[in-house]
Structure 1
Amino acid sequence: MNKSSMKIIFSFVLLLSGFLIAFSYQQTKDNPEVIQLTDQQLEKDFYYRQQLIDIEKENKELRGEVEEKKVKIQSLEDDLANQEQKVADYVEEKKKLQKLTGDVSVKGQGVEVTLSDADYVPTDENVNQYIVHESHIFKVVNEMLSSGANAIAINGQRIYRDSYIACTGPVVTVDGIQHPAPFVITAIGDPEVMEPSLELTHGVVDQLVNDNVQVAVKQRQNISMDANVSGEG
Structure 2
Amino acid sequence: MAREGRHEFHGDRRRRRTIVFGSLTIVLMIALGIGLAAQVRVNDSENSLDSARPGDLLVLLDNLGRREAALREDITSLQDTLATLQQEDGGSGAALTEARERLDALSVLVGTVPATGPGIVMTVEDPRTGVGSEVLVDALQELRAAGAETVQIAGSDNDGVRIGLDSWIAGSAGAVVVDGQKVSAPFVYTAVGDPATLAAALDIPGGVVDTVARNGGQCRISQSEQVTVSALRDP
TM-score, normalization by structure 2 = 0.50
Task: Give the corresponding residue for 1:71.
Answer: none
1:104 to 103, 113, 117: 113
Task: Give the corresponding residue for 1:164.
Answer: 168
Q: Distance in 1 between matches of 2:180 and 2:23?
A: 38
Cα distance change of structure 1 residues 107 and 199 upon mapping to structure 2, 3 Å threshold = same
Task: Give the corresponding residue for 1:153.
Answer: 152
CA shift, 1:96, in A, is 4.5
Task: Give the corresponding residue for 2:192.
Answer: 188
Question: Which secondary structure state, in structure 2, belongs to the residue aligned with residue 195 of structure 1?
Answer: helix
User: Any stretches of 5+ residues in structure 2 without a counterpart?
Assistant: 1-18, 30-101, 155-159
Task: Give the corresponding residue for 1:131.
Answer: 130
User: Any stretches of 5+ residues in structure 1 without a counterpart?
Assistant: 1-82, 120-129
Contact 2:202 2:209 in 1 (8 A): yes
Task: Give the corresponding residue for 1:203.
Answer: 207
Q: Which has the larger radius of gyration?
A: 1
Contact 2:190 2:229 in 1 (8 A): no
1:225 to 200, 224, 229: 229
Kindly report which structure 2 residues correspond to 1:1-233, keeping only aligned pairs within 5 A, or say none. Answer: 93=29, 96-118=105-127, 130-155=129-154, 156-167=160-171, 170-226=174-230, 228=232, 230-231=234-235
Contact 2:175 2:184 in 1 (8 A): yes
Amino acid paired to 1:139 = D
155-164 vs 222-231, which deviates more? 222-231
Q: Distance in 2 between matches of 1:205 and 1:213?
A: 9
Q: What is the aligned residue count?
A: 140
CA shift, 1:219, in A, is 1.1
Question: Which secondary structure state, in structure 2, belongs to the residue aligned with residue 180 of structure 1?
Answer: coil
Detail structure 1 runs of 4+ shifted over 4 Å in the superposition.
85-97
Instruction: Provide Cα deviations, 1:174-216, integer angstroms capped at 9, x if missing partner.
Output: 2222121111111111102111111122222223222322111
CA shift, 1:101, in A, is 2.0
Amino acid paired to 2:202 = L
TM-score, normalization by structure 1 = 0.51
| RMSD (CA atoms) | 3.0
194-203 vs 181-190, which deviates more? 194-203
Contact 1:106 1:227 in 2 (8 A): no
Task: Give the corresponding residue for 2:44.
Answer: none
CA shift, 1:88, in A, is 8.4
Q: Distance in 1 between matches of 2:146 and 2:134?
A: 18
Contact 1:109 1:223 in 2 (8 A): yes
Amino acid paired to 1:178 = K
Cα distance change of structure 1 residues 192 and 90 upon mapping to structure 2, 3 Å threshold = farther
Contact 1:96 1:150 in 2 (8 A): no
